[in-house]
Amino acid sequence: MSDDLQFKYEVEIKTADKKQKLTNEVKDELKASGMMDEKGKLKINGVSAKMLKRMKQEFVDCPVLKREVQFVPCFVCPNFQSRVTGKVLCKGDKL
Protein backbone atom coordinates (compact mmCIF):
# COMPACT_ATOMS: atom_id res chain seq x y z
CA MET A 1 0.00 0.00 0.00
CA SER A 2 1.28 3.47 -0.79
CA ASP A 3 1.89 6.09 1.88
CA ASP A 4 0.56 8.98 -0.22
CA LEU A 5 -3.03 8.75 1.06
CA GLN A 6 -3.87 12.01 2.81
CA PHE A 7 -6.20 11.36 5.71
CA LYS A 8 -7.02 13.20 8.92
CA TYR A 9 -9.09 10.54 10.70
CA GLU A 10 -8.91 6.79 11.11
CA VAL A 11 -12.49 5.82 11.95
CA GLU A 12 -13.47 2.41 13.31
CA ILE A 13 -16.20 0.55 11.41
CA LYS A 14 -18.96 -0.80 13.68
CA THR A 15 -21.62 -3.41 12.92
CA ALA A 16 -25.34 -3.06 13.55
CA ASP A 17 -27.56 -6.06 14.30
CA LYS A 18 -29.71 -5.58 11.24
CA LYS A 19 -29.54 -4.03 7.79
CA GLN A 20 -29.99 -0.27 7.88
CA LYS A 21 -32.23 1.62 5.47
CA LEU A 22 -30.59 4.09 3.11
CA THR A 23 -32.17 7.55 2.96
CA ASN A 24 -33.71 8.70 -0.33
CA GLU A 25 -31.02 11.38 -0.54
CA VAL A 26 -28.27 8.74 -0.40
CA LYS A 27 -30.12 6.51 -2.88
CA ASP A 28 -30.39 9.42 -5.36
CA GLU A 29 -26.66 10.09 -4.99
CA LEU A 30 -25.84 6.41 -5.55
CA LYS A 31 -28.08 6.26 -8.64
CA ALA A 32 -26.52 9.45 -10.04
CA SER A 33 -23.02 8.01 -9.64
CA GLY A 34 -24.03 4.68 -11.21
CA MET A 35 -23.63 2.65 -8.01
CA MET A 36 -27.33 1.76 -7.77
CA ASP A 37 -29.75 0.64 -10.45
CA GLU A 38 -33.26 2.06 -10.92
CA LYS A 39 -34.75 -0.74 -8.79
CA GLY A 40 -32.60 0.33 -5.83
CA LYS A 41 -30.10 -2.53 -5.98
CA LEU A 42 -26.52 -1.59 -5.09
CA LYS A 43 -23.98 -2.29 -7.81
CA ILE A 44 -20.49 -1.13 -6.88
CA ASN A 45 -17.70 -2.24 -9.22
CA GLY A 46 -15.23 -4.56 -7.56
CA VAL A 47 -17.45 -5.20 -4.52
CA SER A 48 -19.05 -8.64 -4.18
CA ALA A 49 -22.70 -9.18 -3.24
CA LYS A 50 -21.56 -10.76 0.03
CA MET A 51 -19.45 -7.71 0.88
CA LEU A 52 -22.30 -5.32 -0.06
CA LYS A 53 -24.60 -7.22 2.30
CA ARG A 54 -22.05 -6.79 5.09
CA MET A 55 -21.53 -3.10 4.25
CA LYS A 56 -25.27 -2.47 4.67
CA GLN A 57 -24.99 -3.53 8.34
CA GLU A 58 -21.98 -1.34 9.09
CA PHE A 59 -21.72 2.23 10.30
CA VAL A 60 -19.11 4.73 11.48
CA ASP A 61 -19.07 7.66 13.90
CA CYS A 62 -18.42 10.33 11.27
CA PRO A 63 -15.88 12.90 12.55
CA VAL A 64 -17.01 15.45 9.94
CA LEU A 65 -20.80 15.24 10.40
CA LYS A 66 -20.45 14.45 14.14
CA ARG A 67 -23.03 11.65 13.99
CA GLU A 68 -23.38 7.99 13.10
CA VAL A 69 -23.41 7.38 9.36
CA GLN A 70 -24.06 4.12 7.54
CA PHE A 71 -21.01 2.70 5.80
CA VAL A 72 -22.46 2.91 2.26
CA PRO A 73 -22.90 6.74 2.36
CA CYS A 74 -19.47 6.95 4.01
CA PHE A 75 -18.02 4.85 1.18
CA VAL A 76 -19.33 7.27 -1.48
CA CYS A 77 -18.39 10.41 0.51
CA PRO A 78 -15.70 12.64 -1.09
CA ASN A 79 -13.73 12.35 2.18
CA PHE A 80 -13.51 8.54 1.94
CA GLN A 81 -9.93 7.50 1.20
CA SER A 82 -9.68 3.81 1.92
CA ARG A 83 -10.98 0.94 4.02
CA VAL A 84 -8.25 -0.88 5.88
CA THR A 85 -8.80 -3.75 8.34
CA GLY A 86 -11.96 -2.53 10.04
CA LYS A 87 -11.17 1.16 9.72
CA VAL A 88 -11.98 3.97 7.29
CA LEU A 89 -9.36 6.54 6.35
CA CYS A 90 -11.17 9.90 6.13
CA LYS A 91 -9.80 13.19 4.74
CA GLY A 92 -11.84 15.15 7.27
CA ASP A 93 -12.72 18.03 4.90
CA LYS A 94 -15.89 20.04 5.55
CA LEU A 95 -18.91 18.86 3.52
pLDDT at position 3, please?
56
Asked if the structure places residue 68 within a domain, the reply is yes
Asked if the structure places residue 41 within a domain, the reply is yes
Asked if the structure places residue 3 within a domain, the reply is no
* Number of compact structural domains in the chain: 1
Asked if the structure places residue 1 within a domain, the reply is no
pLDDT at position 19, please?
78
pLDDT at position 11, please?
96
Domain of residue 79, residue span: 9-90
The three-class DSSP label of residue 34 is coil
Query: How distant is the alpha carbon of residue 28 from its chain centre?
Result: 15
The three-class DSSP label of residue 29 is helix
Asked if the structure places residue 95 within a domain, the reply is no
Q: Are 90 and 11 in contact (CB under 8 A)?
A: yes
Amino acid (1-letter code) at residue 5: L
The three-class DSSP label of residue 60 is strand
Return averaged pLDDT per consecutive 10 residues of the chain, 95 residues in all: 75 89 88 88 86 91 95 91 93 92
Asked if the structure places residue 85 within a domain, the reply is yes
Q: Is the dihedral of CA 17, 70, 68, 26 positive or negative?
A: negative
